């Protein structure tokens, strides 16, 4: 649709622009929630957010290469004879949200454990911010055309057609508007989690809500994606396997908080 936007004579990827916008708006929501309840020092909040963004940045660009390397190793017969440069181009590239989420999670956990900052409090603050940032980032996916839905009939109420210029979506074909659907889902999730965080006196509700409901939504939407080139292993895509893992992590997190009386 609009994969690039011209700013001062330079073509800037709209996906990157919206990714950054999502991070900034996520920060505003994060700091608003920090100030409302004052459960964490505001300097620590800023440090944690920066570490999370940094971890997310590393994770988002390393997940795809890791999965691709695994794919190459396990089906080496298909790649034998290819040049190093061809293999390098195949393995690298592509920014992946779930990789960013995992990278951010790991970075935050390590940082908070080292500096003895409460992980449940940080997770509760982060959940609505991550949801709203991701919601905005998905608009970038829509504009870029790098993530798109399956082909549908032209009369489908949620059909969109990409013009000739896009980064991956086939041109002129009615496709299910999965990026928009996911963006709306995430926006609703962000609003609900913000309300839960502000109204609830129980720790862990906001984070558990994200860790359970986002993977469910993502798992279902994956069946309607048309860009399976991203990777399918057996019955499910990489993102579905990660969603299952996140869901299990969410359940375990909830149980751990209950056991330690921290509490959901």
Q: How far is CA 84 from CA 39, 71, 72, 88, 197, in A?
A: 51, 16, 12, 6, 50
Q: How far is the CB of 92 from other proteins (least distance, A)?
A: 7
Query: What is the contact mask toward other proteins in residues 67 to 86, using x (rule: CB under 8 A)?
Result: ------------x--x---x
Cβ neighbours around 13 below 10 Å, total:
17
Residue written as tokens 């971890």?
Answer: 55
Q: Which of 25, 39, 58, 109 binds other proteins (CB under 8 A)?
A: 58
Cα 89 to Cα 84, 123, 168, 257, distances in angstroms: 9, 36, 16, 43
Residue 233 contacts other proteins per CB under 8 A: no
Number of residues that bind other proteins (CB under 8 A): 36
| CA atoms of 40 and 121, how far apart (whole Å) | 8
**Contact, 204 vs 212, CB < 8 A?**
no
Whichever of 147 and 254 has its CB closer to other proteins, that residue is 147
State which residue, 55 or 215, has the beta carbon closest to other proteins.
55
CB contact at 8 A, 203 and 121: yes
**Quick check: 218 and 239 in contact, CB under 8 A?**
yes
Q: Which is nearer to other proteins, 162 or 210 (CB)?
A: 162
**12: phi then psi, degrees, rounded to nearest 5:** -105, 130
Closest to other proteins by CB, 111 vs 123, is 111
CA of residue 134 relative to chain centroid, distance: 6
Binding mask 213-232 for other proteins (x = CB under 8 A): ----------------x---
Contact pattern from residue 19 through residue 38 relative to other proteins, giving x for each residue in contact according to CB under 8 A and a dash for the rest: xx------------------
Positions in 163-202 near other proteins (CB under 8 A): 167-168
Decide whether 230 or 263 has the Cβ nearer to other proteins.
Answer: 230
Q: Which parts of this chain interact with other proteins (CB under 8 A)?
A: 3, 12-13, 15-17, 19-20, 43-44, 47, 50-51, 53-55, 57-58, 61, 64, 79, 82, 86, 89-90, 92-95, 107, 115, 144, 146, 167-168, 229
């Amino acid at each position: 649709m609009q994969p690039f936007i011209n700013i001062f004579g330079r073509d800037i990827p709209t996906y990157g622009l919206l990714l950054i916008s999502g991070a900034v708006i996520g920060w505003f929501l994060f700091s608003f929630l920090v100030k409302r309840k004052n459960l964490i020092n505001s300097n620590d909040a800023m440090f944690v957010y920066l570490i999370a963004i940094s971890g997310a940045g590393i994770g988002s660009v390393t997940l795809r290469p890791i999965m691709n390397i695994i794919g190459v190793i396990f089906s080496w017969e298909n790649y034998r004879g290819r040049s190093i440069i061809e293999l390098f181009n195949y393995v690298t590239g592509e920014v992946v949200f779930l990789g960013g989420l995992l990278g951010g999670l790991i970075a935050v956990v390590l940082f908070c454990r080292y500096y003895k900052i409460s992980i449940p409090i940080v997770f509760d603050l982060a959940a609505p911010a991550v949801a709203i940032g991701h919601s905005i980032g998905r608009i970038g996916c829509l504009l870029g055309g790098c993530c798109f839905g399956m082909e549908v009939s032209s009369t489908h109420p949620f059909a969109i057609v990409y013009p000739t210029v896009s980064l991956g979506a086939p041109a002129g074909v009615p496709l299910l508007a999965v990026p928009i659907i996911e963006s709306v889902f995430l926006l609703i999730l962000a609003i609900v989690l913000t309300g839960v965080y502000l109204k609830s006196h129980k720790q862990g509700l906001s984070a558990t809500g994200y860790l359970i409901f986002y993977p469910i939504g993502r798992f279902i939407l994956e069946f309607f994606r048309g860009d399976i080139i991203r990777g399918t292993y057996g019955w499910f895509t990489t993102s579905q396997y990660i969603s299952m893992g996140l869901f299990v992590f969410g359940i375990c997190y909830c149980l751990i908080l209950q056991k330690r009386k921290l509490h959901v």
